[in-house]
Amino acid sequence: MARCSHNDCRRWRPDILVRYARLGLRVDGTWFCSPQCVEFTAKRRLLGVRPPSSSVPPIPELRLGVLLLHQGAITSMQLAKALSAQRLTGRPLGAQLQDMKMADAEAVLRGLSAQAGVSYLMAVDPACVRSAPGGLSADEVRALGVVPIQVDETNRLLVVACQAPLPRAALSALRQLTGWTPEPLLVSDVDWQLLIRAYGSAVTRRQQRVVFERVRDIDELAARIAAAAANDRTVTITEAHYGQSTWVRVEGQGAISTMLMPRARV
């Protein structure tokens, strides 16, 4: 006998009808008698979610100017001039140095990668992302700010291109949502724009499996989750926190629905 997992419902149905007549829906392996019960339970679950907190303070990164000095990319006098100009322009130091012809793009990118503790790519081919490696939608990629460029299925690794500063929150959300471990590589702002425009451009609408939506609040998010469950009948739900947003991915056999909801500030 199957009994609805919504605590205030607990309606039951014979197992034979659930199995062969496909009555109800399964979410994360538990049975619900109706989309309404899924929606109510999803809303309760989302209201109870709190963003993870870390008691360990982040290790401060070395300043870019110090790194570039150490690497021999600039001199102390050049750094002083760039910092003075930066106070007027408000531009990032790397961009300021390039504008003043004191450092080239590769030197700045090398310094930024050393600052973040990751590798970098000086040249990228946008063709490598046109087939949407990693299976994300183009809208997801834009929202996260990271572009998958290569997949290692054996080790469950997803090589992604991103801009500095390293988007650690986005990388954490990507890991939680997909189960893949992202391996970030820094690229220049120009190359990142080329990749973000090219990602998924060779995938037709009919081939797309991932639907991305921005939702206003928990009520709309819970309703979207219930609708996705009703459409696929058997789904799993994964959630992650990204900045001031809650990201939910509902995965079924036919499609994947992802929803991004701004989290209320407290």
What's the length of the chain?
Answer: 266
The model's pTM is 0.83
**What average pLDDT score do residues 133-161 get?**
93
**What average pLDDT score do residues 156-168 get?**
94
Kindly report, residue by residue over 5-58, the tens digit of the pLDDT: 998 887 888 777 667 667 889 999 999 999 999 999 999 988 876 655 555 455
Rg (CA), the chain: 23
The confidence band for 151, taking pLDDT boundaries of 50, 70 and 90, is: very high
Strands 2-3 and 12-13: antiparallel
**What average pLDDT score do residues 166-185 get?**
93
Return the pLDDT at 152.
Answer: 93
Q: What is the mean pLDDT of the chain?
A: 88
Return the pLDDT at 209.
Answer: 78
Structure letter (DSSP) for residue 126:
G
For the cut 90, the answer to whether the pLDDT of residue 132 exceeds it is: yes
Kindly report, residue by residue over 57-74, the tens digit of the pLDDT: 555 667 999 999 999 999
**Within 13 A of 98's CA, how many CA atoms are on the CB side?**
14
Which two tokens mark 216? Answer: 């206003």
The confidence band for 265, taking pLDDT boundaries of 50, 70 and 90, is: very low
Return the pLDDT at 203.
Answer: 86
CA distance 259 to 213: 5
The 8 Å CB, 24+ separation contacts for 3-9 are 3/31, 4/31, 4/32, 4/33, 4/34, 4/37, 5/30, 5/31, 5/32, 5/37, 5/41, 6/32, 6/33, 6/37, 6/38, 6/40, 6/41, 7/41, 8/40, 9/33, 9/37
Return the pLDDT at 226.
Answer: 94
Least confident span in 6-10, 115-119, 182-186: 6-10
Helix (H, G, I), strand (E, B) or coil at 220: helix
Kindly report, residue by residue over 215-259, the tens digit of the pLDDT: 999 999 999 999 999 999 899 999 988 778 889 999 998 789 999
CA distance 119 to 112: 9
Mean pLDDT highest for which of 10-19, 148-157, 204-213, 243-252?
148-157
Helices and strands in the chain: count of H runs, count of E runs: 10, 12
Residues 162, 192 contacting (CB under 8 angstroms): yes
Provide the angle, in degrees to the nearest 10, between the axes of the packed helices 35-47 and 218-232: 140
